[in-house]
Chains A and B, each alone.
Chain A
């Protein structure tokens, strides 16, 4: 099952379906339900795929790490959080050679943060395959204080840094890997719209 992301403004990322590429090496990064996309990818891939693949997996509410490790990729890494994985990922990109295909699967935060790290290593974002699975929770940057609030599921949301009530926009920054949040009641702070769970 793929994600239910509605078409929106141009900056809102869209995702595809992972497909095995013709490449000498493969780097696969996933979290939570993204693990299922990795299993589908491995099923569709030729036998030469897994011996040349590295899988980095961050379990979340869903944990597919046992099945993923059993695939028998050349390298398997699992870590406690996306944040914990990023420094390792940065080093991997620095040592990597052109020709390694990158696959990202799972939450938008995982896809966005791994892509941001890849872009910082001068890898073209269009050269990276992505597939969204699972939660639609967003990383949101407050445009006022610039603080990032993780795992946002409500509209509007309270900025975890400055406390302003933010309208979460589809306006996305690839450089920050975050959706932009704009104060929803600047003219009348006493007008407090109810929060609804929309990014689930």
Chain B
């Protein structure tokens, strides 16, 4: 966010509806104040919601869970994360219908491969949200096979079960931990016809497991799609010298490095703000202390080299000098 406290290219919206889906998940509806359609998006896209939480200005990515065919509003379904940095808590507690907010244009790092005629989708918990927009899009693509396997702690915590059942019929499968139901990854991954594309979104251990198992079962990387937004974590405050801008800043305990850079009025690139897209990759000139990498973008050897960092989610212990 710039010094004026706004994401670049932000869209001003009004919260039109807040729906409590269950004890943990609320759905928020955003529309333009003048009621005109919002920009088009594709299934799997996300927006960044800007939040002015007291003195802290944050931007967090959330998948759109509404249909790409209806842009009168955008809907996001957000699970309250009591351990998080506060983005979801702020949304759950503070955001009410009628509030004015800013969001970014949608971007998509979890798009359907439209060359495929078969899509296998695996969702865990709140990881269902991008599949809501994807299955809405697929409903308009006759002859394309999509099946969705949705794991959750309990059926009470599942969302959109009826809507997905009506969209996908017998190709929708629900698994609840409390009923001892588990997705049989080995069976699913070994029995898909050639040409199938695999999509997984859920908690990190689930994504890691599916990536490992799909590799074991010989799935090529290009057929495997996953989305996992790392959370900009809180931690000890640390110092950053922005060599190119000639500034030294402190990153607060509840602030991300990117947010601190933006608060200092330095225009830094970003797209997902979740350590996944690679847009904010920044060269590390030197570090006195230790880099704490939290992203899914850099390769292990790049992380080990200490030459690059993703300021949207990663932190540092000590002082780091960036080429920014």
Interface residue ranges, A against B (CB under 8 Å): 21-25, 93-94, 96-101, 121-124, 126-127
Contact = CB atoms under 8 A, between A and B. Distances in A.
B190 A24 contact: yes
A124 B220 CA distance: 9
A24 B192 CA distance: 13
Interface in B103-157: 115-118
Contacts of B192: 97-99
B192 to A, nearest CB: 4
B222 A99 contact: no
A22 B218 CA distance: 6
B222 to A, nearest CB: 4
A103 to B, nearest CB: 12
A17 to B, nearest CB: 17
Nearest to B221: A127
A129 B115 CA distance: 20
Given A24-B190, A122-B115, A122-B194, A98 B218 contact: yes
B216 A126 contact: no
Contacts of A94: 193-194
A121 B195 contact: yes
15 contacts: A22-B215, A24-B218, A97-B192, A98-B198, A99-B189, A99-B190, A99-B217, A99-B219, A122-B115, A122-B194, A124-B115, A124-B220, A126-B220, A126-B222, A127-B223
A195 to B, nearest CB: 39
B191 interface: yes
A126 B218 CA distance: 14
A123 B195 CA distance: 5
Nearest to B117: A122
A105 B194 CA distance: 20
Nearest to A128: B220
Most-contacted residue by chain A among B194, B217, B223 (CB, 10 A): B194
Contacts of B215: 22
3 A-B pairs closest in CB distance: A122-B195, A23-B218, A127-B220
A71 B196 CA distance: 31
Given A122-B115, A122-B116, A98 B216 contact: no
Interface string B195-221: 110100000000000000001111111
A124 B218 contact: no
Contacts of B195: 93, 98, 121-123
A130 to B, nearest CB: 13
A124 B116 CA distance: 9
Contacts of A23: 217-218
A22 B194 contact: no
Nearest to B215: A22
Interface in B1-51: none
B194 A25 contact: no
Contact of B222 (A96, A100, A127): A127
Interface in B160-197: 189-196
Contacts of A97: 190-194
Contact of B219 (A98, A121, A126): A98
A107 to B, nearest CB: 24
Contacts of B116: 122
Most-contacted residue by chain B among A100, A126, A127 (CB, 10 A): A127
Contact of A124 (B117, B118, B222): B222
